[in-house]
Amino acid sequence: MKTFVPNFITLLNLLSGAIATIFAVEGNMTNAAFFVFMGIFFDFFDGFFARKLNATSELGLQLDSLADMVTSGLVPALVLFHLLELAIAPSWDAYQILPYFGLSVALASAYRLAKFNISTEQSSYFIGLPTPANALLIMSLPLILAYQNNDSYNAIILNPLFLTVTTLLSCFLLNAPVKLIALKFKTWKFSDNASRYILIIFSIVALIVFKFAGIPLLIIFYIILSLLNPPNNA
């Protein structure tokens, strides 16, 4: 019965992803982004409650990855598809197939989640960029366009080359053999969690100063911090 709570929260993640998928298919990328963020919020707390209630289970693990595939895999891929459509001029007939390249993020996410499910060493860190972190990066792009409406930001985000490179990097980072920090606290001591606290502080500052544009900076900082201070099993 204890597993009901975390599994129910996981299903809320899946529901958020399903709603986000509808918005993404309709081209409403901002609403899709907000529901993805909501799903990621639920994704954090299902694991939190599973650990607190000592209610981890194989069912919960599989259900979590299925929910993440929708919320943090499929929806970001659809958003990249739409962004690439916007970036390509209608007269560029030879490039009309390019938006479909954005869907490769869904394939890379599925592969990453499958590897996570059979891994025995990702209890206190991640190998490769977690799908929710990758989703935050991609879903921040339409929010920057919609709410920060800066000519420089717009020119970068709606550049086909930028979006193509972003797609390639996303697919690579999801499955890169690199250890990255997991926000899982076994104790609250700063000495045991220095990198985690630094990441949280940087996140708050970046979001306050740069708003949605701070999310890509946060993901870049997260990767650099993990490389400089590789996590271990402790």
pLDDT at 234: 44
pLDDT at 198: 92
Q: What is the mean pLDDT of the chain?
A: 89
For residue 23, give Cα distances in angstroms to 55, 64, 128. 33, 22, 28
pLDDT at 192: 67
- Which region, left, alpha or beta, applies to residue 27 given φ > 0 means left and ψ of -120 to 50 means alpha? left
pLDDT at 55: 63
Residue pLDDT, tens place only, 187-231:
667 666 788 889 999 999 999 999 999 999 999 999 999 999 887
Domain ranges of the chain: 4-228
- Low-confidence stretches of the chain (pLDDT beneath 50): 234
Class for domain 4-228, per CATH? mainly alpha
pTM confidence score: 0.91
- Spatial separation of the C-alpha atoms in residues 172 and 170, rounded to whole Å: 5
- Spatial separation of the C-alpha atoms in residues 144 and 194, rounded to whole Å: 30
